[in-house]
Amino acid sequence: MSSIAAVGESYQKFNPRAYLQNNYMPPRADFSSEDCVVPWKLRCLAEAFATGDIHGRTLIDVGSGPTIYQLLSACDHFEEIVATDYLEVNREVLRRWVQNEPDGFDWSPYIKHACRIEGKGEQWKEKEQKLRGKLRQILPIDVHQPEPLGSQLCQPADALVSTFCLEAVSPDRPSFERALRNVTTLLQPGGHFLLIGALEESFYLAGEAKLSVVPVSEADVKEALRKSGYHIHDFRAYLMPPGLKIGVDDVSGVFFVHAQKPPVA
Ligand SMILES: C[S@@+](CC[C@H](N)C(=O)[O-])C[C@H]1O[C@@H](n2cnc3c(N)ncnc32)[C@H](O)[C@@H]1O
Ligand SMILES: O=S(=O)(c1ccc2c(c1)CN[C@@H](CF)C2)N1CCSCC1
């Protein structure tokens, strides 16, 4: 079995509820200070969209998983948001959230925080409904394919978002770089890419699944973006406090990148 096939096999045991528990619920998900990692991530995304430079008809989220926090500040700037994931179990979690099913994950702390830092006086229920209205497609994706969305992509997107995906699905640095090159085909020339990921992480848990992660440094991420032709507008890193290392992963830090695909030469 190829190493990429082995990654796909390992994801068959991925448990969305356990993943959400490990990473998006207290005590790890702490909003008590702007210096905590979750407020830091939301602020990175809010500030990127607040520039007014990132807008258009369609934004694609690559490897959405069972989460929507990464789309909260995007929804005012795009007509349509496309969520994607490799696993049907995750796409079903997202569909149930969009349909406001009773067993959905409570994203309200994230939505309230996004409204607060955006400072537009938007009510959180208003933003929640707005995002539900914009999330019109939830598609299968495989970033290891040259055409990650297969024949489902009618035209390249105006922007991409991707959070904790590429390094978590790539067995090594070359496949990480290839995956980035593959997803870049989903983006219009001149389009913007907001990428969040784990620094120097080698594994994470999601229920029975123990997933391997290719450890990447800041330099590795910048090199991969350079090889795919991107201009980096902003690169930030967050050093994980020791208290947040509780055994569900060995992440050392988190990176945020705002990059732009060159316009057609
Ligand atoms: C660590 S989770 C990230 C989820 C979410 N974006 C977040 O910020 O928490 C990685 C996601 O990548 C998805 N995935 C696994 N293999 C993939 C592949 N070949 N192509 C695209 N996504 C994949 C998994 O199903 C999972 O939802
Ligand atoms: O936002 S995080 O930095 C975060 C959020 C998600 C993930 C990681 C980290 C690291 N492992 C990833 C596996 F790919 C998933 N965070 C980690 C500390 S507690 C709150 C969640």
| Residue 113 placed within a domain | yes
Q: How far apart are CA 145 and CA 148, in angstroms?
A: 5
- ipTM exceeding the 0.90 mark: yes
Percent of the chain with pLDDT over 70: 100
Ligand nearest to the CA of 24: 2
Burial of 106 (0-12, 13-18, 19+ CB in 10 A): exposed
| Residue 265 placed within a domain | no
Domain hosting 96: range is 3-260
Per the structure, the count of domains in the chain is 1
Q: How far apart are CA 184 and CA 228, in angstroms?
A: 7
Binding-site residues for S-adenosyl-L-methionine: 19, 24, 63-64, 69, 85, 90, 142-143
Q: How far apart are CA 218 and CA 78, in angstroms?
A: 29
Nearest Cα to Cα of residue 85 among 75, 77, 76, 95: 95
| Residue 100 placed within a domain | yes
Query: Across residues 132-143, what is the average pLDDT?
Result: 97
Average pLDDT score, the chain: 96
Query: Across residues 256-261, what is the average pLDDT?
Result: 98
Q: Does 69 contact ligand 1 (Cβ within 6 A)?
A: no
Q: Does 201 contact ligand 2 (Cβ within 6 A)?
A: yes
Query: Across residues 205-209, what is the average pLDDT?
Result: 98
CATH number of the domain bearing residue 184: 3.40.50.150
Tell me which DSSP letter residue 249 carries. B
Residue with the two structure tokens 């995750």 = 90
Task: Give yes or no for residue 245 having a pLDDT over 90.
Answer: no
Query: Across residues 225-235, what is the average pLDDT?
Result: 98
| Residue 177 placed within a domain | yes
Per-residue pLDDT of 26-46, as tens digits, reads 877 999 999 999 999 999 999
Residue 244 is predicted with a pLDDT of 86
